[in-house]
Chains A and B, each alone.
Chain A
């Protein structure tokens, strides 16, 4: 038996709090890069709960998912930042509320 006194629920609540911080970042900020970083916060919050479930249930599947989520996050980072770059090149802004060409 491994000695630990931190229950699984604590990790889950911490993960939920971190996820909410990410959501608030996406809603309240206007800078596209900071919105992007808030999305990374949300992805990491979910990763934390996956690793916690994996360690408490003794199943490796949770850690496999985390590995794939990291790979998808890396792909998302590359494409997202390229979009921000080309947006800045065309509109000279990274503030999402100044980009409303697709809004009716």
Chain B
């Protein structure tokens, strides 16, 4: 048992467990907190892959920005525990969900185990391409156009969300 195996096991089990907690908790705040834990576990997994920049951005953007937004909305809506649906819909939904999950897991296992990639060694460049310097270098040269496009998308999303969430005072809605 070397360090890599131990770290991968901890982060992988933590990621799966926190993901399961996220989708099973009745209380939305508990779900959101489990999801924050999940993002930290994923950040650890990125570090085992030598992707330092992505790991830092994961914590900053997901655990920091997006989850604060989600928790804010939960607070604004003052949500309580989710009520169980009494009618037939619930059993059907859970059966369907489990069936989809089983089929997909079997398909993916067949796809991955049927043709193993055989890669068990990180590339020699793995450390070099994970740094902020390398990512920034690439972002502002080769990927400059998508970078500008994504900034436009963020601006559009910003304006769109303000308009959507605004109270329409004149119509009295």
Contact = CB atoms under 8 A, between A and B. Distances in A.
Contacts of A3: 2, 4
Interface in B124-139: 124-127, 129-130, 134-135, 138-139
B10 interface: no
Interface in A46-103: 47-48, 51-52, 54-60, 63-64, 66-68, 70-79, 81-86, 88-90, 94-95, 97
B100 A4 contact: no
Interface in B1-56: 2, 4-5, 8, 12, 15-16, 19-20, 22-23, 28, 31-32, 35, 38-39, 42, 45-46, 48-51, 53-54
Given A58-B129, A64-B143, A79 B16 contact: no
A28 B25 CA distance: 12
A70 B62 contact: yes
Interface in B100-133: 100-101, 104-105, 108-109, 112-113, 116-127, 129-130
Contacts of A14: 12, 15-16, 45
A2 B122 contact: yes
